[in-house]
Structure 1
């Protein structure tokens, strides 16, 4: 599988289930809802200034790791990049939804913080199916060979 194909799978799976785990120095890892436009970076996270994440980001940009598993547990990703506060009003307007609105007192809520995540790189894994691997072993084939094109390390343009 080419890096471009892996990246497309990354965006497709993320679009299907936008719940990720986000970690950064100074703030414990937490589940977050990933918002993005099209199948391209950046990824946006709505948070609050009064959370541990909001407090840390007020001090400046942070290196962050985002991980997720696809709904079918057949695709996994671990991405690294920079997380920065960026309360761009136009982006807030475009990404605002009933899901986001449930957490805030409107788009002008003083606690509302929008974080921009610029992914630099990602490690991606697609399930090679243990059943298929077992059958390959029984037939004398090395299951690792077919798994090689189902993993990859890609650079992301953000």
Structure 2
């Protein structure tokens, strides 16, 4: 895979766009618990944080160092994110991100929900947009050259 065919921040911007299209990640604390699929919310005012509504007893609710993985809807974008989960205590952020899709998971409404904040400290991002020549090689055999491959970026910020 070609490294940084696009500038790292361009790849990061593509990641945020892909995440908005399919807002699901696998996330887990690095304490040995397995990751689980969660729906994320984005707040444009806080671009290096992902927000996750959960129950108060959810395995990420204790907070701490975490890793998250993302696969784009078309399997054309992948991300591995490192960071820290904590409780978002700002009620305005909670209310801003709360919607009918979130409410459907919480029978007693907001009282059952906790808003977790995943602050991203670093990310490794892969865009697998293989060229037409590369796709033909995949179909009929052959070696895909790095220039026919994709973009890869390691970033400290997705903003």
| TM-score normalised per structure 1 | 0.82
State the match for 1:45 in structure 2.
Answer: 52
Higher RCO (CA-CA < 8 Å; seq separation 6+)? 2
Instruction: Give the total of aligned pairs.
Output: 149
Could you say if the C-alpha distance between residues 157 and 8 of structure 1 is closer, same or farther in structure 2, counting changes exceeding 3 Å?
A: closer
1:79 aligns with 2:85: no
SS at match of 1:6: helix
CA RMSD of aligned residues (A): 2.5
Distance in 2 between the 1:146 and 1:46 partners?
39
Q: Post-superposition shift, 1:9?
A: 0.2
Kindly provide the CA deviation profile for residues 69-106 of structure 1, in whole angstroms up to 9, marking residues without a partner as x. 11111111111111111232111110010011112212
Residue 16 (structure 2) aligned to one of 1, 5, 11: 11
Deviation >4 Å, runs of 4+: 134-138
CA distance change for structure 1 residues 132 and 65 in 2, over 3 Å: closer, same or farther?
Answer: farther
**5+ residue gaps in structure 1?**
none
- Show the counterpart of 1:114: 115
In structure 2, stretches of 5+ residues that fail to align are 1-5
After TM superposition, the score normalised by the length of structure 2 is 0.81
In proportion to residue count, which structure has more helix? 1
